[in-house]
Amino acid sequence: MEQMDNITIFSCAYLCCMSQKVRVRFAPSPTGGLHLGGVRTVLFNYLFAKKHNGDFIVRIEDTDQSRFVTGAEAYIFDCLKWCGLTPDESVLHGGDFAPYRQSERKELYKQYAEQLVKDGHAYYAFDTVAELDNMRELLKTKGSSSLQYDHNVRMNMNNSLRLLPQETQQLLDAGTPYVIRIGIRPNEFIPFTDMIRGDIEFDTNNVDDKVLLKADGMPTYHLAVVVDDFLMKITHAFRGEEWLPSAPVHILLWKYLFGLDKMPQWAHLPLILKPDGNGKLSKRDGDRLGFPVYAMDWPDPVNNEITKGFKEIGFLPEAFINLLAVLGWNDGTAQEIFSMEELIEKFSIEKVHKGGAKFDFEKAKWFNHEWIQKLDVNNYAARVKAIFETNGITINNNAYFLKVMELVKGRCTLLPDFFTQGSFFFEAPATIDIDAIKPKWDDKKNMFFMELIKAWQLSTLWEATDIETSFKELAAANTLKTGELMLPLRIMLVGEKFGPGVFEIAAAIGKEATITRIVHTLSLLQ
RNA sequence: GCCGCGUUGGUCAAGAGGUUAAGACGCCUCCCUUUCACGGAGGAAUCACGGGUUCGAGUCCCGUACGUGGUACCA
């Protein structure tokens, strides 16, 4: 009964915000490749928006000029495109709330920061980097439990709280570099409800006076995210769990600037962790363990090093989206394979986990294998064809190519597997595993294959069943066991012990190629 | 250190006080396949620990441990 009530109350709070159009945003910083976790954040934003017929906005948070990386922004949009996550509004897609790049909104933030100072919620701070270092050093030697710039230390610092108004004005007039810091009042509790974690409460005694406006006039994330979420009418804010500790700052900012009733509902997503060891999954783990962490290849513009992406190693976007969706979420049933449409229909924020999940590349590959089977080969034939071409095989006969794909797709996990599993359909194997034949090879078998060549040269029928029949009849006539002959035949056609049914292969590559390959191997056996 | 968040097999996970504690990946065995896969049938393996509350706890409460995040004029 009590639970029912909670659910009811929760749903009401939920619906109140629903009365306006749902608007969510993904707010990446253009600092490098797009990480798995980043894509999942986009995905959850997107699914939530689409489920509620809302808008999905992409806002570029490029307020840290020192970390700006050329090409990173375009790359992010390329990744979104590949994933099929199309924004409704963005730098690229336009929209009524432009500009969507924070660097172009610079002037906007300053007035809000000034307003906060005027209202007594923020103050100017003139401390230099060295002074801040000294402060922390001092706190450390004093054995203080916190090294933060907060109510305990701010009256010892060089800021407008301690300075006389005219002193502050003098510094300002003299063009002294300054930042604006939020003034957190001690002994208050900031409660809020997270859509995933439920009720959370922070004690302001543990919250520091975060910088809102930097000396270069740019806002920090804290100010920018609040101002833009308000201006862009964001209703639900999804972000990684790493933001949870700074949530009280944002809530206070909302309270001071726009009112808590306008604040979006927060959802702090669990982290994606390293498969082994501990910690957040990083690009380095991918390099170390041999799997990608980025959605697409990221060529570092500084050192030209390419970090591998899921796309390039042969993932299907459908599989990539699928595996990300179920990393930290499930619909409560045993279903694991979901299309984007199903995800939109079934996604629910309440079913997102609280705890982080270790990334498992083996499972990730399984999703790709499943999607290769599920999708019509036409969906990815062009990509596979490109793989063949970079490996020196040009495809002229598309129908034949599709047929081969169909024949081998069951044994493919990543797209390049089509090449390793299917190249012999297009050209004779470069090497023949002779050692797999030799031990049991004898004159009788040799004779059999000579006769086989003659028989097949004369035959007019070349379907897999015809080939099998004639093969078996000839084997019987020579009192040989079919089983002892099929492996040699396979090696002759494929080069190794793998692939679809050997008679299907013979049928596919054609009579001439089949005979040529047998002759070639026979010559090697001499 | 301090603060926050978390913790069901090796991994992802279902689980809303009463279940033989689902399912998936991976691993092992067998079947199918005269190859390799797919597929099918089995198997090993789990509620971090300690206290409560309750007739009954994986589920609720407290503590501990462990993990993780934050503690920047980075996001």
| Residues in contact with A75: Cβ distance below 8 Å, sequence separation at least 6, in sequence order | A33, A34, A296, A298
| Residues in contact with A52: Cβ distance below 8 Å, sequence separation at least 6, in sequence order | A18, A22
CATH 3.90.800.10 boundaries in chain A: 101-225
Please state, in angstroms and rounded to a whole number, the distance separating the CA atoms of residues A279 and A275.
Answer: 9
CATH 1.10.10.350 boundaries in chain A: 379-525
SS3 A436: helix
CA of A122 to C1' of B67 (A): 36
Residue A383's CB: how many other CB atoms inside 10 A?
14
What single letter denotes the amino acid at residue A399? Answer: A
* Chain A residues 134 to 163 with C-beta below 7 Å from nucleic strand B: 136, 145-149
Please check whether strand B approaches the CB of A189 to within 7 Å: no
Fold of A101-225: Glutamyl-tRNA Synthetase; domain 3 (3.90.800)
Please state, in angstroms and rounded to a whole number, the distance separating the CA atoms of residues A444 and A140.
Answer: 87
DSSP code per residue over A495-507: SSS-SS-HHHHHH
* Chain A residues 95 to 134 with C-beta below 7 Å from nucleic strand B: 127-129, 132
Q: Spell out the long-range contacts of A497-505 with Cβ–Cβ below 8 A and sequence spacing 24 or more.
A: A497/A433, A497/A436, A498/A411, A498/A421, A499/A408, A499/A421, A499/A424, A500/A407, A500/A408, A501/A464, A503/A464, A503/A465, A503/A467, A503/A468, A503/A471, A504/A407, A504/A464, A505/A424, A505/A425
Please state, in angstroms and rounded to a whole number, the distance separating the CA atoms of residues A420 and A413.
Answer: 11
Q: Check the CA dihedral A395-A401-A402-A408 and report its sign.
A: negative
Q: Which nucleotide is nearest to A220 (CA to C1')?
A: B73
CA of A96 to C1' of B53 (A): 56
- Helix locations, A221-300, DSSP H: 221-231, 247-257, 283-289
**A361 phi-psi bin (left φ>0, alpha ψ -120 to 50, beta other):** alpha
Our separate counts of H helices and E strands in chain A read 20, 13
Q: What is the dihedral of CA A248, A251, A255, A259, to 10 degrees?
A: -170
Among protein residues, the one whose C-alpha sits closest to the C1' atom of B36 is A498
CATH 1.10.1160.10 boundaries in chain A: 283-375
Q: Which nucleotide is nearest to A67 (CA to C1')?
A: B74
Give the max Cα distance, chain A.
Answer: 112
Q: Nearest-5° angle of CA A482, CA A485, CA A487? A: 115
Question: Can you point out the beta strands (E) in A185-328?
Answer: 189-194, 198-203, 211-213, 236-240, 265-269, 272-273, 298-299, 306-307
Q: Which CATH number fits domain A283-375: 1.10.1160.10, 3.20.20.70, 2.70.70.10, 2.40.50.100?
A: 1.10.1160.10
pLDDT tens digits in sequence order for chain A, 526 residues long:
233 333 333 433 444 445 789 999 999 999 999 999 999 999 999 999 999 999 999 999 999 999 999 999 999 999 999 999 999 999 999 999 999 999 999 999 999 999 999 999 999 999 999 999 999 999 988 888 888 999 999 999 999 999 999 999 999 999 999 999 999 999 999 999 999 999 998 999 999 999 999 999 999 999 999 999 999 999 999 999 999 999 999 999 999 999 999 999 999 999 999 998 778 999 999 999 999 999 999 999 988 999 999 999 999 999 999 999 999 999 999 999 999 999 999 999 999 999 999 999 999 999 999 999 999 999 999 999 999 999 999 999 999 999 999 999 999 999 999 999 999 999 999 999 999 999 989 999 999 999 999 999 999 999 999 999 999 999 999 999 998 999 999 999 999 999 999 999 999 999 999 999 999 999 998 8
Q: What CATH architecture does domain A379-525 belong to?
A: Orthogonal Bundle (1.10)
